Structure 1
Amino acid sequence: MIRVLLVDDQQLIRAGLRMLCEAEGDLTVVGEAGDGREAVALVARLVPDVVVMDLRMPGVDGISATSRILAARPATRVLVLTTFGDDDHLYPALTAGACGFLLKDAPPAEILDGIRRVAAGDSPFSQEVLRRLVRRAVGSRAPLKPIAGLTERERDVLALVADGLSNAEIAERLHIGVTTVKTHVTALMTKTGAPNRVRLALAAQTAADG
């Protein structure tokens, strides 16, 4: 069971997220917070697996709360869920330690998938955000381990990750199952030393340049 803490200053948003999560057999909402200060206190008391974190809140905002939570409990996974996908919100949130970044207009299934992926150690991003991260990361030419021993299918998957496609979109494009895509992505992360999909996109660029 994945233990979830919901953090948002709008009660209606929290209520909707609670209903969404509690309709799933593998998710349970252990608490709600209306601001960052309350979120920090509840994480210490409730020890959730995943914190679904809004960014703009009165008092202590989501970025400060994320930083404080992870300083105290580094194993906590923080998934940002926000209306604001611009760089002024994205990069400070990632610097604070958030491991995923979704927009509030994402489909419910994408939000649920994001919670599960964060809990499993993945780093989910809304497609718009991921594409922007990829463009910026490729431009930075951050170093990666050389790619060696990729299968033809892994190269296909890697190219589509670099295009910002989700696992479901890759599965549809390649006519394979989503579970198979996840297996390939995991193998690619191991072979490239990449901890997330953005770094995998860099691996694709490295291969193209080589």
Structure 2
Amino acid sequence: MKVVIVDDAPRVRDRVKALLHADAPYAEVVGEAGEAQAAIRLIRDMRPDVVILDLQLVGASGIKVLRAVKLAPHAPRVIMLTNLTDLEYQITCLEAGAEYFLDKSFGFERLADILRDLARKSGPDSEERAVL
């Protein structure tokens, strides 16, 4: 499973990579970005299975990135991982196509389980959405 990590904080990207290395060895991090336009280009070029995406990015919001990548014919599954957890953001992200919306305060522990579940799903058309 190819994964791209998009967060404006390098320490958060490093934490996600360390967690995936330890708890989700089947997940290969194929790229990372902290800026919105770079993230969109990276996702289009690398065609990951999953994107772990923050809402706060340099240059634009994670919602803009989410909407842009979900337009692709083989759009990746998207896990929002953010500190901005207002209900409005949750609804907007899930309606825009995010499969999961995680609070950074306690969502890191769920990433490996969520990736395992996504790996088991049989195709890109699953309609499951969750706020955790």
Classify the TM-score, shorter chain.
0.7 to 0.9
Paired with 1:42 and 1:88, the residues of 2 have a C-alpha distance of: 27
Q: Describe how 1:51-130 pairs up with structure 2 within 5 A.
A: 51-106=51-106, 108-119=108-119, 120=121, 121=126, 122-126=128-132
Relative contact order higher in (CA < 8 Å, ≥ 6 apart): 2
Tell me the distance in 1 between the aligned counterparts of 2:94 and 2:55: 12
Which AA in structure 2 matches 1:123? R
Identity, in percent, stands at 33
The answer on 1:18 being equivalent to 2:10 is no
- The answer as to whether partners of 1:118 and 1:124 remain within 8 angstroms in 2 is no
Structure showing greater Rg: 1
Question: How do 1:136-155 and structure 2 match up within 5 A?
Answer: none
Structure 1 segments (4+ residues) deviating >4 Å: none
2:10 paired with 1:4: no
Report which of the two has the higher share of helix.
1
Deviations for 1:39-97, whole angstroms, at most 9, x for unmatched residues?
11011111110000000112121101000001124431011001121122111111221
**How far, CA to CA, are the matches of 2:94 and 2:107 in structure 1?**
22
Name the Cα RMSD after superposition.
1.7
TM-score by length of 1: 0.55
Structure 1 unmatched runs, 5+:
127-210
Q: How many residues are aligned here?
A: 125
Tell me by how many angstroms 1:107 deviates: 5.2
TM-score (norm 2): 0.85
- 8 A contact 2:81–2:107 mirrored in 1: no
Q: Which amino acid aligns with 1:40?
A: I
- With 106-115 and 81-90 compared, the bigger mean Cα shift is at 106-115
In 2: Cα distance, 1:107 partner to 1:90 partner: 14
Residues 69 and 75 of structure 2 are in contact (CA less than 8 Å); yes or no, is this contact kept in structure 1? no
Kindly indicate whether the alpha-carbon contact (under 8 Å) linking 2:66 and 2:78 is maintained by their aligned counterparts in 1. yes
d(CA) in 1 for partners of 2:62, 2:51: 11
How many angstroms apart in 2 are the aligned matches of 1:77 and 1:60?
Answer: 20
Alpha-carbon offset, residue 112 of structure 1: 1.4
Alignment-mate amino acid for residue 41 of structure 2 = A
Note the 1:132-171 alignment, pairs <5 A. none
Question: In the aligned structure 2, how far is the partner of 1:35 from the partner of 1:96?
Answer: 19
Partner SS for 1:72: coil
| Structure with higher strand content | 2
